[in-house]
Amino acid sequence: MKDKKNNEGYVKFVDLYSKYGVLLILVIVFLICSFSSPAFLQWSNILSTLNQAAITMVLTCGMTMLLISGHADLSAGSIVALTSIVCALTMKMTGSAVLAIGVSILAGVICGLLNGMGVCVLKISFFIITLATTMILRGMAYILTDGAPIYGMGKIMSLGQGSLLGIPNLIWIAAGVIIVTFIILSKTVYGRYLYAIGGNPEAAVASGINVKKDIILAFIIMGMISSVSGIMLAGRTNGGYPSAAEGYEFDAIIAAVLGGTSFNGGVGGVIGSIFGAIIIALINNGMNLVGISAYYQDIVKGVIIVAAVFIDLKTRSLVMKQ
Amino acid sequence: MEQEMLMQMKNIVVKFPGVIALNDVSISINKGSVHAIMGENGAGKSTLMKVLIGDRTPDYGEIFFEGKPIEKIASTGKHKDISMIYQELNPIKDMTIAENIFMGRFPEKARGIVDLPKTNELCQKIFDEWDLPYDPRQKMNTLSIASIQMIEIIKAISKKSKLIIMDEPTSAITPKEVEKLFSFIRELKNNGISVIYISHKLDEIYQIADHVTILRDGEKKKECAIEDITREEMISCMVGRDIKNVYYKKEVDIGEEILEVKALGRKNVFSDVSFSLRKGEVLGFSGVMGAGRTEIMRCIFGLDQATEGSIFVDGKRLNVKKPMDAINAGIAMLTEDRKGDGLVLCRSIRENIALASLNKMSRYGFMDKKTEDDKVNKAVEELMIKAHNTSVAANNLSGGNQQKVVFAKWLLKDPKILILDEPTRGIDVGAKTEIYHIISRLAENGVAVIFISSELPELLGVSDRVAVVASGRLVDILDRKDATQERIMELAAKGEK
């Protein structure tokens, strides 16, 4: 009898964990951070942590959509760098913030379109295509700037560094992107199609879904979101740097996977991914406050990610067995 | 008993959270006998087999093999006395037959170095011994499903397995191949190897089995020699109720012509296929797997491209390039492989059912959750899909319920023409009967149905006309009154040449 009871308790835990696991980890990380450093719990510290994570969060939104559709964009970091430079150059040439933002978003859309066409028209694996565009776009970023940073963003700098109602603008922008992504994924027909395509592309085709169009659109959205990140980055750093945003795509993928989005497609959601992004940001911040060196930080992060995803896998397979 | 006992499972109990999957089940298998295990989906057959091969530890119970208790059977690879041939075979297609058979236990020249000539030699020896016409050096991907299955069985024999479990081995092979398989099973018997045979097909059970055990809801309902049980007893024992009319068909007024296929063909697959279909009619398609039935339908539905001929719906020529074109013309198709291109397994029942008709449940691209729930719930009720609620992932349903979910998806679409490719394969008798009822009800509402099946009795039971396909050609179309099993087989055999 005792054994059975234990078993039931365990099953309940598994069930809860599969639903609220990320939240649980978030709370634990938050508690550990608050106990280890008094500076952590200060409002200003939390705001600045979120502010630093805002760009990753935005990127995570697009990456989550792509992962759900069974794809990923490894060129996201390069698109961020390229669009931040396009933004800086346009600003420098025209002085118009609106034009700079518009041209950057257009550049992002084109990058996304190219990735999407590569996957759907050339029928090359997303992994290869986006790996190739990573290099191509990064190269373009260096060519456009001649390898040197461009400074001076004017109004866009105030956008990136200012705040509204006491909360930094970047957090507002991230919140906006998160809400839009949430609505797309959970309330629209397109969102449903993305889940179906990621879950079983053959079944999606046989159900009359225009799979190619929807995947290209997902890459375009990713490009657009990357350009928003690029503009945010240009604003925050008051300039365009060709070497910027390296590895951002991995941060986004890791946040999404930590948050329960499957790398195999068909499963996940943007809320979990954002929790994942916040967890990573808190861990970074906590370690900074305690004074752990940056080299050790990477190791700690890597270990935590493996542990979290491993537990997630285990619980998920148990839930499946039921 | 005069025969020697090989394996015995005693009082096996397996509990899942909330459900007892197996309750006090005992079976014993004699040496050199074929023991059939029957039951509806979810009756506990696969759990029992998992316990036997060591995939799952029972909560209670013992297993004896050749009189010795087995503490805990490790996974199949390590336990060579028992092998299982799964329904879905997973050979390593780019390797040769010999490599597949000796995978994981290659003869070695030195430690870690595979002795390939020796492997081939050993393999050839087994083939000679059993008088089999295969070449050890042949690649697996050149073999038919039936041959791959045979290789799996050989692999089990080469491990000196004494008990081979076969899970629905005939679900994907032709009648001729079934005969071959059966004569091979008989040979196994003569050599003292026992077989546990799992199947839904009663005819086969009578042909091949010596004993039968029937499970229902995790309990053993009957164990007896095959001579001591009639078909009717077997069915009612499995289902728990009497099913009088397994095949159900209501007479319906057949309406005007809705689909006409003229000289349709696809290069090297099938050619010159012409037929027409009328409202309320059920047109059966018979023929062995690979004869071209499925391939014809895939072209009509746009999953493949026809290279010649034309398709007319309601008198208008239809140019199908992709499924969407066919769907827009009112054609729906329940594909043969429900896991492959029917369901999105990781998503909920609701999302699966709604998937093809989202434009009817949305405004400006935004989901209208209420309309969706209403429509989905109605379909779930109508088709009696058994699940806690519609948020359950399709993965967690039994085969029959999964098939009903795919049905529901297409019913929501209100198709004019519904193509059903082996809709009853691998599902239990109860669910089959329900599907016949659904087909009949659809026909009554004027839907034109194309029904593909390898099982002649059900084909004859539900169709108004039966088309016979063989070797990529439509041999003939028989009226219900002229169609008999013999006539169809005769036509199919004629078409083979």
User: What is the three-state SS of chain B?
Assistant: CCCCEEEEEEEEEEEECCEEEEEEEEEEEECCCEEEEECCCCCCHHHHHHHHHCCCCCCEEEEEECCEECCCCCCCCCCCCEEEECCCCCCCCCCEHHHHHCCCCCCEEECCEECHHHHHHHHHHHHHHCCCCCCCCCEHHHCCHHHHHHHHHHHHHHCCCCEEEEECCCCCCCHHHHHHHHHHHHHHHHCCCEEEEECCCHHHHHHHCCEEEEEECCEEEEEEEHHHCCHHHHHHHHHCCCCCCCCCCCCCCCCCEEEEEEEEEECCCEEEEEEEEECCCEEEEECCCCCCHHHHHHHHHCCCCCCEEEEEECCEEECCCCHHHHHHCCEEEECCCHHHHHCCCCCEHHHHHHHHHHHHHEECCEECHHHHHHHHHHHHHHCCCCCCCCCCEHHHCCHHHHHHHHHHHHHCCCCCEEEEECCCCCCCHHHHHHHHHHHHHHHHCCCEEEEECCCHHHHHHHCCEEEEEECCEEEEEEECCCCCHHHHHHHHHHHHC
The mean pLDDT value for B297-322 works out to 88
Instruction: Note the helical H segments in A37-96.
Output: 43-68, 76-94
Q: How far apart are CA B178 and CA B191, in angstroms?
A: 20
Cα dihedral B297, B429, B200, B340, rounded to 10, equals: 40
Q: Which two tokens stand for residue B100?
A: 């597949």
First-to-final CA distance of chain A: 20
Residue B3 burial (CB count, 10 A): 11
The mean pLDDT value for A50-69 works out to 92
DSSP secondary structure letter of residue A188: B
Can you give the length of chain B in residues?
497
Range of lowest pLDDT (A187-201, A216-230, B183-197, B392-406): B392-406
Model ipTM value = 0.81
Q: What is the interface size between A and B, counted as CB pairs within 8 Å?
A: 85
Give the gap in angstroms from C-alpha B393 to the nearest C-alpha of chain A. 9
Using CB atoms, which residue from B16, B303, B365 is nearest to A189? Answer: B365
Question: Would you say the C-alpha torsion A59, A64, A67, A69 has a positive or negative sign?
Answer: negative
Q: Is B338 on the interface with A (CB under 8 A)?
A: no
Report pLDDT digits (tens) over A238-267. Answer: 888 888 888 888 889 888 888 888 888 888
Query: How high is the mean pLDDT of chain B?
Result: 83
Q: Enumerate the residues of chain B whose CB falls inside 8 A of the CB of residue A190.
A: 365
Report pLDDT digits (tens) over A174-220. Answer: 999 999 999 999 999 999 999 999 988 988 988 889 999 999 999 99
Q: Enumerate the residues of chain B whose CB falls inside 8 A of the CB of residue A321.
A: 16
Give the predicted TM-score (pTM) of the model: 0.76
Report pLDDT for A8: 59
Report pLDDT for B1: 42
Report pLDDT digits (tens) over A159-176. Answer: 778 888 888 888 999 999
Using CB atoms, which residue from B322, B342, B347 is nearest to A195? Answer: B347
Q: How confident is the model at residue B201 (pLDDT cuts 50, 70, 90)?
A: confident
Q: How far apart are CA A86 and CA A75, in angstroms?
A: 16
Report pLDDT for A18: 64
Q: Nearest CA to B171 among B162, B163, B181, B157?
A: B181
Range of lowest pLDDT (A10-24, A29-43, A129-143, B375-389): A10-24
Report pLDDT digits (tens) over B431-489. Answer: 788 888 888 888 888 899 999 987 777 888 888 888 888 878 888 888 888 877 777 87
Q: Is A70 on the interface with B (CB under 8 A)?
A: no
Q: How confident is the model at residue A312 (pLDDT cuts 50, 70, 90)?
A: low
The residue type of A97 is A
Using the predicted structure, report yes or no on whether residue B245 has a pLDDT greater than 60: no
Q: Phi then psi for B318, rounded to 5 degrees?
A: -115, 125
Q: Enumerate the residues of chain B whose CB falls inside 8 A of the CB of residue A221.
A: none
Q: Which two tokens stand for residue A4?
A: 């059975």
Q: Phi then psi for A136, rounded to 5 degrees?
A: -60, -50
Using CB atoms, which residue from B344, B359, B396 is nearest to A196? Answer: B344
Q: Is A320 on the interface with B (CB under 8 A)?
A: yes
